[in-house]
Amino acid sequence: MFHVPEQYRIKDGDYGSDESYGNNGAFRVPVPDEPDDVFMIIASDGEQWEHVSVHVVERIRIGLKITFKTETPLWSEMCYIKSLFWDSDDVVMQLHPAEKDYVNIHEDVLHLWRPVKEIIPLPPKEMV
């Protein structure tokens, strides 16, 4: 079941939303064990797909100067995000579309997808 972690919802600014948006909105989730880093997430459940896009924003301190850098999430981080938005028994996927259909708006973003009305086929357990 798809659900959003309301405590991390961004409520102000260009990406602001509230609970009336349901599972759609932007979220700022702290990275466990990395106090200066956050996951920036956009979640949606339209057109029969549940979807989460994720990138990491790292705050870097150099003396008194603070800069920000985006990073692609690690596998373990994507597992953590999956656990925030879906139940443990839900099957969720990352996709590599055909090159002709590929869209890359932000190079450090990864996506999780789950169709609402379809069951994702899985290979035999011993192959996973």
Q: Does residue 33 form part of some domain?
A: yes
Q: How far apart are CA 31 and CA 36, in angstroms?
A: 8
Give the pLDDT confidence of 89-120 residue by residue, as tens digits. 999 999 888 988 888 888 899 999 999 999 99
Q: Does residue 66 form part of some domain?
A: yes
Q: Does residue 90 form part of some domain?
A: yes
User: What pTM was estimated for this model as a whole?
Assistant: 0.90
Please say whether the dihedral angle defined by the alpha carbons of residues 91, 33, 31 and 13, taken in this order, is positive or negative.
positive
Give the pLDDT confidence of 38-76 residue by residue, as tens digits. 999 999 999 999 999 999 999 888 888 888 999 999 999
Tell me the CB-side half-sphere exposure of residue 101, using CA atoms within 13 A. Answer: 4
Give the count of domains, the chain: 1
Q: Does residue 1 form part of some domain?
A: no
In terms of residue numbers, what domain contains 81?
6-127
